[in-house]
């Protein structure tokens, strides 16, 4: 009798475990990256087909009239009349990206900058004011401080992480706060909870560029941010072979912004969308390797006598380490550091590297290295570069998916010239 009772208990436990497995609360991000967005493809294809067309036909005027009547109330699902307003391949990618970001909807653009500029043009009018943090991507700052100024939109730049300065910069005309997390190149981490608290108090919308994090490491919308943007060229695509941008947020707000895309025309190409969809399927594997390599390389560099300082959110020495620990599930594949030497010494170190290739960008399967003083700020003098926080001996290392041990050996031999 005792044995029967024990067996019964074991069977009950197994049944309870099966019930837990049958109904998970939500698929994990890697599963979403592979499967979200639906699987009912034409011709029973496992991959979303590339729909290559500029225009769409109607069988008769009755079908056209019905379509136009429905469109008055918003987009008609699965139907459009012209390629600038939608594409099935692009729509499939947008659905997957929205799922990854826990968003109501997402829009795919021709580039990350197209996503940023189109959004700002849609949300801001003459007389409005926006605030950006000083460690934002330099082209974003340039657009806000020069182009928008010509349209009568005022911009204030505040130090990253200085919420007192942020509150002091708010005016009655402030409509938007723009920031990044992590930032480029010093990988500062934005306190999303505090940002949302300040913005909500003043009824201001928030936009965060989370390109360096990917949705696998942080999802700003889940912290209350209104809009999140990515240069999909980087980690999301993952192979350095396409340009794209994505904006995600609440469905109603995204619907308004999609109308602006139809006017300005910075749309994504279906072939690029298909490549991006392919890249998303391995996002979980790639980011896991890059997170692991990033942490290991950062710790190696921090302990190396030829390195002055390392910036990586996974290090306790990073100014925002505590924030990163609280809101990120991984710290990414970018490590920034300064070597002990001047501009020329740093160049010799970079030239000696065998695995990372000298190039801009990040997030792909190949490791890339850049010397910001020469690549992004070449036209400035040393003094001018220092004024914007760029040191001559600064290196930004964007790790790919190579074996971590090989990367360490390569860094060690290259640092011998320092």
Structure tokens at 194: 């505090």
Q: Which of 105, 209, 320, 392 is catalytic?
A: 209
Q: Which of 137, 186, 235, 377 is catalytic?
A: 137
DSSP E strand boundaries for 29-120? 105-109
Catalytic residue from among 84, 138, 205, 281 = 84
160 vs 166: CA distance, rounded Å? 9
| Cα–Cα dist 86/93, whole Å | 12
Annotated catalytic residue 84:
yes
> Would you call 105 exposed, middle or buried from its count of C-beta atoms within 10 A (0-12, 13-18, 19+)?
buried
Cβ burial of 79 (10 Å; 0-12, 13-18, 19+) is: middle
Judge whether 289 counts as a catalytic residue: no
How many helices (DSSP H) and strands (DSSP E) are in the chain?
18, 12
Distance CA 132, CA 295 (A): 29
Which of 96, 141, 234, 396 is an active site residue?
Answer: 234
192: left (phi over 0), alpha (psi -120 to 50) or beta: alpha
CB 316 within 8 A of CB 167: no
Beta carbons within 8 Å of 41's beta carbon, 6+ residues apart: 47, 48, 49
DSSP 3-state percent helix, strand, coil across the chain (nearest 5): 45, 15, 40
DSSP state of 71: H
Q: Cβ(93)–Cβ(277) under 8 Å?
A: yes
Distance CA(177)–CA(180), nearest Å, equals 10
Of 36, 389, 375, 362, the residue nearest 211 (C-alpha): 362
Number of other residues whose CB lies within 10 A of the CB of residue 215: 28
| Segments of 215-306 assigned E as strands | 227-231, 245-249
Nearest CA among 171, 94, 155, 169 for reference residue 120: 155
| Closest by CA position to 103, among listed 232, 229, 14 | 229
- The set of catalytic residues is 84, 137, 209, 234
């Amino acid at each position: 009798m005792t044995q029967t009772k024990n067996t019964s208990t074991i069977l009950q436990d197994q049944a309870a475990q099966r019930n837990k497995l049958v109904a998970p609360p939500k698929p994990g991000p890697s599963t979403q990256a592979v499967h979200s967005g639906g699987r009912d493809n034409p011709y029973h294809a496992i991959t979303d087909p590339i729909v290559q067309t500029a225009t769409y036909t109607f069988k008769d005027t009755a079908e056209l009239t019905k379509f136009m009547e429905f469109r008055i109330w918003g987009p008609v699902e699965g139907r459009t009349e012209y390629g600038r307003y939608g594409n099935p391949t692009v729509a499939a990618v947008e659905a997957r990206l929205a799922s990854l970001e826990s968003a109501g909807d997402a829009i795919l653009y021709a580039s990350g900058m197209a996503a940023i500029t189109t959004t700002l043009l849609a949300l801001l009018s003459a007389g409005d004011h926006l605030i950006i943090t000083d460690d934002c991507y330099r082209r974003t700052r340039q657009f806000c401080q020069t182009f928008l100024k010509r349209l009568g939109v005022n911009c204030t730049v505040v130090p990253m992480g200085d919420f007192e300065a942020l509150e002091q910069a708010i005016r009655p005309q402030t409509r938007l706060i723009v920031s990044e997390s992590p930032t480029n190149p010093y990988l500062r981490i934005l306190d999303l909870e505090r940002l949302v608290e300040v913005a909500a108090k003043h009824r201001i919308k928030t936009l965060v560029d989370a390109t360096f994090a990917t949705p696998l490491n942080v999802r700003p919308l889940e912290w209350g941010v209104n809009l999140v943007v990515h240069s999909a060229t980087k980690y999301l695509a993952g192979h350095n072979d396409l340009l794209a941008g994505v904006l995600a947020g609440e469905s109603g707000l995204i619907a308004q912004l999609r109308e602006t895309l139809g006017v300005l025309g910075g749309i994504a190409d279906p072939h690029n969308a298909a490549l991006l969809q392919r890249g998303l399927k391995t996002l979980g594997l790639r980011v896991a390797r890059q997170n692991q390599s990033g942490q290991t390389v950062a710790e190696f560099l921090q302990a190396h006598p030829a390195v002055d300082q390392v910036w990586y959110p996974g290090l306790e020495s990073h100014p925002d380490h505590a924030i990163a620990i609280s809101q990120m599930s991984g710290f990414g594949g970018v490590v920034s550091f300064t070597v002990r030497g001047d501009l020329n010494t740093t160049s010799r170190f970079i030239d000696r590297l065998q695995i990372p290739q000298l190039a801009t960008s990040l997030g792909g399967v190949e490791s890339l290295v850049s010397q910001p003083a020469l690549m992004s700020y070449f036209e400035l003098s040393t003094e001018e570069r220092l004024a914007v926080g760029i040191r001559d001996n600064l290196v930004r290392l964007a790790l790919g998916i190579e074996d971590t041990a090989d990367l360490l050996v390569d860094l060690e031999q290259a640092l011998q010239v320092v």
